[in-house]
Amino acid sequence: MQRRRTFALWIAILAVAAASIAAYVRSHQNRASAAADPPQPIPVIAATVERRDMPIVLTGLGTVTPFNTATVRSQVTGLITSVDFQEGQFVKKGDLLAQIDPRTYQAQLDQAEAALAHDEAHLKNAEVNLQRYTGLAKQDSIAVQEVDNQRAAVDELQAQIKSDEAAIENAKAELSYTSLVAPFDGATGFRLLDVGNIIHPPTTQTTGAQDALVVITQLQPISVIFSLATQSLPEVQAAIAKGPLQAIAFSQDGKSKLDEGKLLVVNNQADPGSGAIQLKAQFPNEKRLLWPGAFVNVELILSTEKDGLTIPLNAVQQGSEGPVAYVVGSDRKIAIRPVSIRESLNGEALIDKGLEAGETVVVRGQYRLLPGSLVTLADPSRPEAVPNPTTAGAGMLP
């Protein structure tokens, strides 16, 4: 019985040993097979280093500012009988905005014209008498004093007529003020007074909205006031010396181009607190995309680099010692190369050194690459085929 147990134990030990030896052999074979298999290429999206003209720009945040803004007020008191514009309407210079009851001011004009006619009739009579008196004085029929008195009467009536003519001009002006017109081309805002309201001229005591009809803002052309660091001033002045500078306005997020214009002026002093200097650019604003008070980004073009080496900006990664690019060799293997960037604009980078025209650089999928990694070029129209990292620091070289 004891011998059977011993024999069964040895059988079990031998079975375990055989199983271990078989597992070891299979593991060794698997490792050998894996070592023999070539590495799988990593899919990436790449672009070619190109030569093309690249603008050298300075970018600043600015505010859209109209050249002219006017609050339309009346210069006479009267009842508003009609409002002849719609809120938000674009009006031309001289367009009628509202009509004030003109009857009182028309009556004043009629009265002034009647006074002129009256005094002109008296003047004619006085001039006839002066001629008659002058003839009688030559015949010694009347005293010279009578002639002098009549001449004074004529002079007085002539002065009165000048006063009447001035009164007529004043009455005409006041009558014209009953028509409120647009002072320049622009867009109207909210209507502040309606038909039936009495409008008054503004005074030092009352200059609020109760005296105003509407605010008009000029939109075409329009300006943008933006800021740049004072360190950029020498570059700007040197560029201005060579000719007018182009300015381009973009939306605040930098994605939409709004308009192209030109630099008008650099302010004559910098802000010592912020270390910035203000500049003003003018834009035609034909599509009216620049709206007063809105924040925009302004790109001021200082010059253009001819035939510069350019690559997509996302082809540049930050390495431990500065910017680098992942270059795809003819053997589809990766080389990590340091690069020097002179300018970046609208998703493009201008390269000073580190690359040559015609080379291929990786623009998506760098985070999985090491020097010597084998890659395959994916279709650029299908970026989803090459995942991007979501963790901070992905794409950074160790």
Model confidence at 381, pLDDT cuts 50, 70, 90, reads confident
Q: Model confidence over 266-320: pLDDT tens digits? A: 999 998 888 899 999 999 999 999 999 999 999 999 988 888 888 899 889 988 8
Question: Residue 393 pLDDT > 50, yes or no?
Answer: no
Model confidence at 326, pLDDT cuts 50, 70, 90, reads very high
Strand bridging mode 257-266 / 276-283: antiparallel
**pLDDT value of position 394:** 38
Lowest mean pLDDT among 216-220, 337-341, 385-389, 393-397: 393-397
Q: Model confidence over 29-64: pLDDT tens digits? A: 555 544 555 678 888 888 889 898 888 889 999 999
User: What would the mean pLDDT of 329-340 be, rounded to a whole number?
Assistant: 90
Question: Residue 23 pLDDT > 60, yes or no?
Answer: no
**pLDDT value of position 396:** 43
Residue 95 burial (CB < 10 Å; 0-12/13-18/19+)?
A: middle
Model confidence at 321, pLDDT cuts 50, 70, 90, reads confident
Q: Reduce the DSSP state of residue 286 to 3 states and report it.
A: coil
Of 338, 330, 337, nearest to 358 by C-alpha is 330
Q: Model confidence over 224-233: pLDDT tens digits? A: 999 999 999 9
The token duo for 234 is: 């020498």
Cα distances (angstroms) measured from residue 180 to each of 73, 76, 98, 209:
8, 10, 5, 16
Would you kindly state where each structural domain of the chain is located, as residue ranges? 42-54+306-385, 57-67+220-305, 69-94+186-217, 102-177
**pLDDT value of position 205:** 59
Mean pLDDT of the chain: 85
Lowest mean pLDDT among 68-82, 289-303, 347-361: 347-361
- The CATH-assigned architecture of domain 102-177 is Orthogonal Bundle (1.10)
Residue range 57-67+220-305 forms a domain whose CATH class is: mainly beta
Share of the chain above pLDDT 70, in %: 85
* Helix locations, the chain, DSSP H: 2-36, 103-138, 144-176, 233-240
Q: Model confidence over 255-271: pLDDT tens digits? A: 899 999 999 999 999 98
> pTM, whole model, 2 decimals?
0.68
Q: Model confidence over 100-157: pLDDT tens digits? A: 999 999 999 999 999 999 989 998 988 888 888 787 777 777 777 877 788 898 899 9
**Rounded Cα–Cα distance for residues 326 and 45 (Å):** 11
**pLDDT value of position 398:** 37
**pLDDT value of position 111:** 94
Amino acid letter at 88?
A: G
Residue range 42-54+306-385 forms a domain whose CATH class is: mainly beta
**pLDDT value of position 392:** 35
Question: Residue 5 pLDDT > 60, yes or no?
Answer: no
Task: Tell me the sheet residues that pair with 90.
Answer: 187
**Rounded Cα–Cα distance for residues 159 and 385 (Å):** 95
Higher-scoring residue by pLDDT: 98, 36:
98
User: What would the mean pLDDT of 369-377 be, rounded to a whole number?
Assistant: 88
Cα distances (angstroms) measured from residue 123 to each of 51, 114, 147, 361:
89, 14, 15, 98
**pLDDT value of position 64:** 97
**pLDDT value of position 15:** 61
Question: Residue 197 pLDDT > 70, yes or no?
Answer: yes
